[in-house]
Structure 1
Amino acid sequence: MHSTMRNESNTENNFDEKHVAERNEKASSYASEDSSEKVVWDARTVVALASLCLLWYISIFDRVIDKNEMWSILTFVGSVRSRPPFQAAMTPLLTSTGSQLPLYFLGGMALTATSWMPVANTLALASVAPFSGYLGDLFGRRNITMIGAGAIRVGIVIVATAHSFAQVVGGMALSGAGAGIGELTALSGVGELVPVKKRGLFVGLVVACLIPTTPYVMYSQLFSSRTDPQAYQGWRWGQWISLIYNGVALVGIALTYFPERNSPISRRPRSEVLREIDYVGAFLSISGVALFLVALQSGGLTHPWTSDVVLATLIIGIFLIIGFCVWEWKFAKTPMIPRELFSGQRIVAITFAISFISGMNFYSLINFFPATFSSLYNPDPIQVGLKGLGYGISVTAGAASVNALMTYLPKYNRELLLGSCVLMTAFIGALATATPDNARQTVALGTIGGFGVGGVLVPAQTIAMTACPDHLIGTVVSLALAIRVIGGSIGYSIYFNIFKNKLTAALPTYIAGKAVAVGLPATSAVQFVTAFLTAPATAAKVEGVTAQVIAAAGRGAQEANAHAFYYVWVTSIAFGLVSVLLCMALPSNYKFLTNRVAAHIKH
């Protein structure tokens, strides 16, 4: 018995010594100024990098097209049947837009499940991303990348061939999970194949691959405006295009992407690594984030915030997330969030906080800004798409250019991020001046604000990638992505409820005031407003209603929307100021910008 105990003790000591040696080797590699490995720029390396860039492109393209086509999909697979009173006034203003907001505004606030079509995509992405990055760091990037690309492919096919609600939700969830994996593995995969000091430049090149995606509002308008039976296949082509690009990326990755990392983890037996996976942490994080986001999307949308469904889901989700933090801190042997990620520097923690806050403003821009084009101005699909070109291009331009400048201005990375936060805060907040009469000003403000958003969103991840240990680069990118989505979901929930409450109160007042001002008898005001908000086709039959009254009521609805949007943009200023303060507290990452290369393509 004593012999057995001594053997067990020796085994534990050997295990501990092995891990101490691994940590020392990691620290030595992390601290080294230059890598002994140089980047070999041959055809295989170039094709591998290009394939990762294309995977990043398709991960983003599929998500924005999926979400922005959902109104068209609802038209065919089971559109919303119930309408709260104020939504009818928004119908002529929002049904032409390809953004996801019509889905929420026209269908979501009734007790309907159709709003979960686009939500399923984001929910799956945020839930799966942290565990995927962790697995990529343990098992290597190639296999996880292939799984992500395959999941996108299957999800696209399911959505493109869907004829039922369940099919679309399932396909959206699967493609969302795959897109999350694709986005994080593309960024971390490219980042570890180049010198640390050039990660900004190459991540900027990855982001620049999104330039063909920037007119996504126009794409969605053109696809989703084809709603007649003869053009039934129109919206599906958004999916087929995604599938084609995904196939090219998948082939390129399968043939050329064989990364070898300078990490002791990559030399350990697969069976040993499998035993050390943090399964408990994975369960707590995935289930906690999923339930938390479900509660946020349900509250005020499909259920009241005080309902048992929302409160129970929210509380359980929060407790699971707290349990995950305690488990990672005290009990996990191979945690999903290692302490060494934050040891010796504050950069990673602060950039995570910046990602969280910037996610709030990013979601306010991409969700609410397109809606202003159709609710305040001409709702023609082409006009909405043209107005959306500016900010779509500027977000990508901001992300690509600021990332690239981080390589050429290595001592001023913090200042670049700070300047972007100031632009984001000032110009998105300035959208509070939007009215039905200043379309050009509104587009200009949103375009400049979009540049600021782009200059924060991805560059914050890039700074974290430069300061983290090489063997945790996937973990850093995945956590930043999940934190950004969670922050965005919280922000969207706040913005949405502000908008809904303000619009619900303003619509009857604005419509009645405008209608009475052009001749509607005061005695008919209540009847007319009720008809206009519930059954617009019958509003003309109300006594005293003329064409001028109908036009004035439409103008009143526009001004009511402008009034509600005002509070959304003003609220965004508070979050923007927090991001500015965080940037001011961010230490310089200059000392981490070395020639060290974390991995290379196997030849």
Structure 2
Amino acid sequence: MKDSPTDTETNIEYHEKRDLPNNWDDPHRAALEDNPETPGKLTLSVLLSALFLGTSFTGPIIFGFILITPILVQLSEKIGGETIDFWIPSGWGAAAAVGFSIAGRLSDIFGRRYVILFGQLLTIVGGAIAGTAKSMNQLIAGEVILGASIGTVSVAYAGLSEILPNKYRGMGLAWTEFNLASWSIPGTLLANAMISDATWRIMFWIAIGYGTFSLIGTFFVYFPPSHPRADGKTKWQEFKELDFIGAFLFVTGLAVFLYGLNSGGSTYPWEAAGTLAPLILGLAVFLGAFLYDFIVPKDPLFPWYLFKNFREFSSLIVLVFVAGMVFFTAAALNAQTILYLHTSDPIKIGIYSIPSGVGQLVGGVIIPALVHYIRHVQYQLTFAVFMQTLFFGLAALITPTNLNWLMAVQFLAMLPFGWITLNCYTAASLNVPQRDLGVAIGLIGTFRSLGGAIGSVIFSSIFDQTATKQVARRIAEGAGNAGVSADSIPGLVASAKLTLLGVPGLGSPLTNVPTSVFEESVTAARYGYAYGLRITWLVSIPFGVIATLCAMAVRDPSKYFTNHVEVHLKDKVGGKVKAGGQRP
């Protein structure tokens, strides 16, 4: 979308007038005027900071989410809790959303360093709780802490962006994604191998290792300069002005709303008070958090002066919300699709899931690293969102007989997520003033995780409820036509489902059911699950259409891919300070 002469420059106004330098208050002027002919040399402190900040994400994302979600069905068979295991992806996503929203603003007050270190510590704590879990409830508690960890560590997105030249911000963010994608490729294979041949707890021990590595490294090498305080306020004064009421409303409303979504059609009928009350109350409180934040607090978590700029900021929030909805749902459903439609062999499930990880590598690492060469960010986003919408919609065509199509769709549908997310981070970092970069990056992460939490509940509920009805109906019809008595059908349905999970010899005890009928019932169950997946992915299409329209409206920040560096680290490694390093 071409900018008119009158709207070339962005004006994101703050709710208070502050006597701040231009490079703090106007990212565009700084990018164009403070633009050396050649990019500055990357110092040792910058390179090491990028190393440790980039690896901070691996523990809570890969081992706290990507590896655990494909084995939820098998895991609930081992430790119980199959009726509440949905809280692993939903709790992780909700906690991440809360962490993103709070950590971003805290980092703008206290600086990035201490917030990131706290997030890395949470990785260690969450990994220890989850790794020693004896019940699903304890595992969910550990996952919630790991979600809060990634929400807090996400401040590193802002930290990486501001220490690199503008033109290389995409490369810096691609480095974080490389640490994730290199594990995502064999992720499902590793997870299934762990749970079948070793122990699933290994993934949480590795998460602890990553958390420890990044925490120690960050502690010794990452020393960003203090933020200016031209208004004379101390950090404690700014902390006291934080919007704690808005945070409480946000957390409470989200938790109650997610509970209501999951209750509908399972615990209670959709029209029952047990479903409608938490849905309506939770949504009202959740939306009330934003309304309150826009009007009342001095230092809001959700600043209206950012949200009102649709092309520079709010449109990006819509994109990551929808991308998070479908990606985090697919992270769990991809492996379940292979399990229910094709095979219960854990190694084969892992091998058939490899295209998903390869797609994440291409879309999350290679393309975003070249964003400053490709430019035209709004066209990239439009194409990526359209591609995601198209191929998740085409996932509705997956059946038990087209495994090759399933693998192709995995690659093509999962590829755009990192492309969309990192380009949104990059665009925000170039369009939002440095004073608000932490809260802006945090809000993008908030809505990405929020989309994941809500999407996981909505789409998993649609799949579970649709598939359950379809499997029972198809088996009952086939068995009834074959002369099986009505009393035997519930046991036949249960046996067919467990057979898909890999439990052997379940047809033998059904003495009044011929072997051929049992085998046909297993096939009918596969098609029942395929129908549930079809409806689930068709429902995702309208969300993708809305996101595509928003992507077309994004303001292109390409001309700000310059050699400007926003923040110069104190050149301090291992506690030894060298001369220079801090920005004037």
TM superposition score category, shorter chain reference = 0.7 to 0.9
Give the counterpart letter for 1:185 in structure 2: V
Aligned-residue offset at 1:261: 5.5
**Residues 92 and 453 in structure 2, CA contact (< 8 A), matched pair in contact too:** no
Gaps of 5+ in 2: 1-13, 497-504, 572-584
2-side partners of 1:144 and 1:571: how far apart? 38
Of 514, 520, 526 in structure 2, the residue corresponding to residue 546 of structure 1 is 514
Of 399, 404, 408 in structure 1, the residue corresponding to residue 364 of structure 2 is 399
**Residues 308 and 314 in structure 2, CA contact (< 8 A), matched pair in contact too:** no
Of 510, 532, 537 in structure 1, the residue corresponding to residue 492 of structure 2 is 532
Aligned-residue offset at 1:158: 1.4
Of 448, 451, 464 in structure 2, the residue corresponding to residue 500 of structure 1 is 464
Cα deviation, 1:271-296, whole Å, max 9, x if unaligned, reads 33223322222222233333333333
Aligned-residue offset at 1:376: 0.6
Cα deviation, 1:236-277, whole Å, max 9, x if unaligned, reads 111111111211111100001111266447985323322332
Aligned-residue offset at 1:149: 0.6
Name the structure 1 match of 2:151. 180
Which aligned pairs between 1:60-71 and structure 2 lie closer than 5 A?
A: 60-64=61-65, 65-71=67-73
2-side partners of 1:216 and 1:158: how far apart? 21
**Residues 399 and 459 in structure 1, CA contact (< 8 A), matched pair in contact too:** no
Name the structure 2 match of 1:281. 246
Gaps of 5+ in 1: 1-15, 81-106
- Relative to the length of structure 2, the TM-score reads 0.86
Of 141, 146, 161 in structure 2, the residue corresponding to residue 170 of structure 1 is 141
Which structure 1 residue ranges, 4+ long, deviate > 6 Å from structure 2?
A: none
Of 24, 27, 32 in structure 2, the residue corresponding to residue 26 of structure 1 is 24
Say whether residues 1:555 and 2:520 are aligned partners.
no
Cα deviation, 1:304-360, whole Å, max 9, x if unaligned, reads 444544433333322322332222222211222334435666221111111122222
Name the structure 2 match of 1:90. none
Give the counterpart letter for 2:368 in structure 1: N
Greater CA drift, 539-548 or 525-534 = 539-548
Of 293, 296, 301 in structure 2, the residue corresponding to residue 328 of structure 1 is 293
1-side partners of 2:413 and 2:401: how far apart? 20
Of 551, 569, 576 in structure 1, the residue corresponding to residue 537 of structure 2 is 569
1-side partners of 2:356 and 2:124: how far apart? 29
Name the structure 1 match of 2:500. none
Of 429, 446, 449 in structure 2, the residue corresponding to residue 465 of structure 1 is 429
- Relative to the length of structure 1, the TM-score reads 0.83
Aligned-residue offset at 1:205: 2.2
2-side partners of 1:70 and 1:507: how far apart? 20
Greater CA drift, 490-499 or 248-257 = 490-499
Say whether residues 1:161 and 2:121 are aligned partners.
no
Say whether residues 1:242 and 2:207 are aligned partners.
yes
Give the counterpart letter for 2:455 in structure 1: G
Name the structure 1 match of 2:551. 583
Say whether residues 1:338 and 2:338 are aligned partners.
no
Greater CA drift, 465-474 or 58-67 = 58-67
**Residues 281 and 327 in structure 1, CA contact (< 8 A), matched pair in contact too:** yes
Greater CA drift, 187-196 or 279-288 = 279-288
2-side partners of 1:343 and 1:568: how far apart? 33
Rate the CA distance shift 1:343–1:423 in 2: closer, same or farther, 3 A: closer
**Residues 94 and 450 in structure 2, CA contact (< 8 A), matched pair in contact too:** no
Aligned-residue offset at 1:512: 3.9
**Residues 260 and 278 in structure 2, CA contact (< 8 A), matched pair in contact too:** yes
Aligned-residue offset at 1:388: 0.7
Give the counterpart letter for 1:338 in structure 2: P
What SS does structure 2 have at the residue aligned with 1:598?
coil
Which aligned pairs between 1:117-196 and structure 2 lie closer than 5 A?
A: 117-182=88-153, 184-196=154-166
What SS does structure 1 have at the residue aligned with 2:444?
helix
Name the structure 2 match of 1:54. 55
Which aligned pairs between 1:202-601 and structure 2 lie closer than 5 A?
A: 202-214=172-184, 215-226=186-197, 231=198, 234-260=199-225, 263-264=228-229, 269-342=234-307, 346-410=311-375, 412-515=376-479, 520=482, 522=483, 524-534=484-494, 540=508, 545-601=513-569
Same amino acid, percent of matched pairs: 25
Give the counterpart letter for 1:242 in structure 2: A
1-side partners of 2:223 and 2:115: how far apart? 12
Rate the CA distance shift 1:185–1:301 in 2: closer, same or farther, 3 A: farther
Aligned-residue offset at 1:507: 1.6
What SS does structure 1 have at the residue aligned with 2:141?
helix
Rate the CA distance shift 1:384–1:18 in 2: closer, same or farther, 3 A: closer
Rate the CA distance shift 1:257–1:302 in 2: closer, same or farther, 3 A: farther
Name the structure 2 match of 1:12. none
**Residues 363 and 488 in structure 1, CA contact (< 8 A), matched pair in contact too:** yes
